Amino acid sequence: MKKTDSMETVFDQGKEHPESRKEQLMGYLKRLGNGEELESVRADFVKNFGDVDATEIMEAEQALIREGTPLAEVQRLCDVHSALFHGAMMQKKIQEELAKKDSFPQRDYGDKKTRAAELEGIQGHPLYTFSRENEALTGLLAQFRESRSEAVFEAIREISIHYAKKGDLLYPNLKVRHGISGPSDVMWTVDDEIRDELAALARESERGEAWNARLDAVLERAGEMVYKEQNILFPICAINFTEEEWFGVYRDSKDYAVCFDVENERWEEAERNCPARQSSVSDEIVMPGGHMTVEQLTALLNTMPLEISFIDADNINRFFNEGAKVFKRPGMAIDRDVFSCHPPKIEAMVRSIIESFRDGSRDSVPVWMEKGGRTMLVTYMAVRDPDKKYLGTMEIVQDMEFAKAHFQK
């Protein structure tokens, strides 16, 4: 590529120019689009990008979007992007888990399935609901094998709701509060792969033999996950979660859409022990720009047409505003390590963004994406005091469909 004044900066040790690296990313997309095997593309991706910061990849993806590459196509890079940092990050995480393993109490798993069955039998209990969703999914999988119905296929795709609840309410709690990281590190990744493959198949118009083979393979994985949940994940949760933690799962699960027509039923004991969140509304907060009561400030933040999160300087979730959210923010995540709230394939990117805020190399990172068929802008921003000391990270999620509608008039 010919040098220009705008491309004088090069990577260390003779690496290629940034523009050339962006072209490589575009090349990976074309290779995937032409049907090349994912593992083949992944191998070249790791070879050429495995030693750079995750944010460089993210910036290149955003550049592709600005140039008009469809969001759905750019998002396919997530499949290869997930390989970034995998080896080094996994080794580091293993060492961290081994170091803290002895700090958690040892559990007797001899009656884990019995305990899980007891909880699954309590009307309205989270395991009662999860198990009924699995029963419904099993029925849908059987129906699809018989009918190959498009309507049944679409119903099966509601599995994303089931997986989202697991990812938000079960995996992080096991990992952070009980030192059990296996489900988070392994099952969460499989959940994402199943969900993403179903979404990719739904987008394709050519549905021949190869398409059907891929669909059968991913549905088989979904069926296997049902077995793993019922026989591994739910029993582990049943042995480890406290009653208070189950109350929290029950409360937060109300924020999710109905999955497979399985309504959340009322768990009487939880209702008696889950009082509404209380906050002081009498004292005023005095700020440089004025003063407000807690009630006023809370209402103000909840009125903004944004999803707002704040993570403190120690990487702990401290605040989410209330209201309906595209990206769920369960109350159980408050006071929890922010990294535990993200699936393994994007954890490295989140770590990289926050560290760049901490060291001062960045102040803001915008990420455009599609979610539920809507264009969303997720902006990560460093929060600093007047002396530029890092206090934490704010995440703002904004639905941008209003802007599309305005400019398409």
- Least trusted range by pLDDT, from 144-153, 213-222, 248-257, 335-344: 335-344
Residue 246's pLDDT band (boundaries 50, 70, 90)?
very high
- Least trusted range by pLDDT, from 87-101, 196-210, 276-290, 355-369: 87-101
Residue 15's pLDDT band (boundaries 50, 70, 90)?
very low
Query: Helix and strand tally (H, E) in the chain?
Result: 20, 7
pLDDT in the model for residue 274: 67
Is 97 a residue whose pLDDT tops 70? no
What distances in angstroms separate CA 378 from CA 126, 259, 330, 337, one per listed residue?
30, 26, 18, 20
CA 49 – CA 219 distance, rounded (Å)? 32
Which residues pair with residue 155 across a beta bridge? none
Nearest to 371 by CA among 28, 61, 59, 75: 75
Percent of the chain with pLDDT over 70: 74
pLDDT in the model for residue 332: 76
pLDDT in the model for residue 11: 30
pLDDT tens for 353-365 read: 888 899 998 899 8
Q: How far is it between the farthest Cα atoms of the chain? A: 70
- Least trusted range by pLDDT, from 2-16, 84-98, 254-268, 277-291: 2-16
Over residues 340-346, the mean pLDDT reads 73
pLDDT in the model for residue 334: 83
CA 312 – CA 318 distance, rounded (Å)? 6
Is 208 a residue whose pLDDT tops 50? yes
Environment class of 69 (CB within 10 Å of its CB; exposed 0-12, middle 13-18, buried 19+):
middle
Is 23 a residue whose pLDDT tops 60? yes
| Three-class DSSP category at 376 | strand
The rounded mean pLDDT for the chain is 78
pLDDT tens for 114-143 read: 889 999 999 999 999 999 999 999 999 999
Q: Which helix (H) or strand (E) holds 52?
A: none
Q: At what angle do helices 112-120 and 126-147 cross, to 10 degrees?
A: 90
pLDDT tens for 64-73 read: 666 666 655 5
pLDDT tens for 303-339 read: 888 899 999 999 888 988 887 777 777 777 788 888 8
pLDDT in the model for residue 33: 62
pLDDT in the model for residue 162: 96
What does pTM read for this prediction? Answer: 0.62
Is 342 a residue whose pLDDT tops 70? yes
Which tokens hold the place of 272?
Answer: 């008696």
In one-letter notation, the amino acid at residue 300 is: L
Which tokens hold the place of 289?
Answer: 């720009």
Over residues 83-99, the mean pLDDT reads 45
Q: How many Å separate Cα 359 from the centre of its chain? A: 25
Is 394 a residue whose pLDDT tops 80? yes
Is 221 a residue whose pLDDT tops 60? yes
Over residues 340-349, the mean pLDDT reads 75
CA 33 – CA 49 distance, rounded (Å)? 20
pLDDT in the model for residue 56: 55
pLDDT tens for 108-119 read: 667 788 889 999
8 A C-beta contact, residue 277 and residue 322: no
What distances in angstroms separate CA 318 from CA 8, 93, 184, 256, 276, one per listed residue?
42, 23, 22, 21, 18
